[in-house]
């Protein structure tokens, strides 16, 4: 079962430039609430797993293992047999993200960039929200992306296309799965190591 650590802390730094949710309260006076997925061998995150294109006949390989403080996802992406994707996936559960506006990820990655996928339906072919959250960096990097910058995509006969549906609190409240998937179909080895994923939002004054 995923380890979720809820933190309430005083906001002391600038908010992300991608955050489209504005507040009349000065930043230094705002409080934020967060939900952290803190990876590591004793953090209860061992339920995250790899799901790759071999389930559809592809030959890509991606495997996971835990260190004391991180999760490592590595292998190779192959476009043979109409494949080309690897993904690191959370277990299905109730991930109510409606209180949050941003996602923060601490990582290092080589070989591929990765999108985050937020699914609010069990079936794989139904629409999901996606955004690029990880760009290749051999050094430890922290990226912040607004949840309201996620775009909904639906399966079509020729791949996927945007639906035009915007992210909302209702969609965020119904998330049941979180994936990290390579963002381009290209043959390459890859290594993705993640320290934590943290969802953040401003505390409501109501």
Judge whether residue 16 has pLDDT over 70.
no
**Nearest one of 29, 20, 43 to 197, comparing CA atoms:** 43
Mean of the pLDDT values across residues 88-105? 96
127-169 pLDDT, tens digit each: 999 999 999 999 999 999 999 999 999 988 767 899 999 999 9
Mean of the pLDDT values across residues 24-37? 73
Which has the higher per-residue pLDDT, 106 or 2?
106
Domain range spanning residue 104? 4-202
Judge whether residue 27 has pLDDT over 90.
no
- The full DSSP string for 74-119 is EEEE--GGG----EEEPPS--B--TT--EEEEEEEEES--EEEEEE
Main-chain phi, psi angles of 80, to 5 degrees: -65, 155
What is residue 205's predicted lDDT score, i.e. its pLDDT?
67
CA atoms within 13 A on the CB side of 70: 14
Mean of the pLDDT values across residues 65-84? 95
Number of domains in the chain: 1
Confidence of residue 193 (pLDDT cuts 50, 70, 90): very high
Mean of the pLDDT values across residues 64-87? 95
- The domain spanning residue 95 has which CATH number? 2.60.120.430
What is residue 206's predicted lDDT score, i.e. its pLDDT?
58
């Amino acid at each position: 079962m995923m380890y979720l650590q809820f933190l309430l802390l005083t906001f002391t730094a600038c908010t992300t430039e991608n955050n489209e949710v504005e507040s009349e309260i000065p930043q230094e006076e705002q409080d934020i609430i967060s939900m952290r997925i803190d990876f590591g061998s004793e953090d209860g995150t061992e339920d995250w797993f790899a799901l790759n294109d071999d389930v559809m006949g592809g030959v890509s390989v991606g495997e996971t293992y835990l260190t004391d403080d991180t999760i490592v996802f590595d292998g190779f992406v192959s476009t043979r047999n109409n494949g080309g994707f690897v993904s690191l996936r959370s277990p299905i559960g109730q991930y109510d993200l409606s209180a949050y506006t941003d996602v923060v990820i601490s990582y290092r990655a080589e070989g591929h960039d990765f999108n985050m996928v937020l699914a609010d339906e069990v079936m794989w072919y139904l629409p999901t929200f996606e955004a690029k959250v990880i760009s290749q960096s051999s050094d430890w990097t922290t990226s912040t992306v607004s949840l309201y910058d996620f775009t909904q995509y639906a399966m079509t006969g020729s791949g996927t296309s945007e639906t035009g549906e915007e992210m909302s609190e209702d969609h965020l409240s119904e998330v049941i799965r979180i994936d990290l998937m390579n963002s381009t179909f290209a043959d390459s080895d890859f290594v993705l190591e993640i320290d934590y994923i943290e969802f953040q939002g401003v505390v409501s004054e109501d």
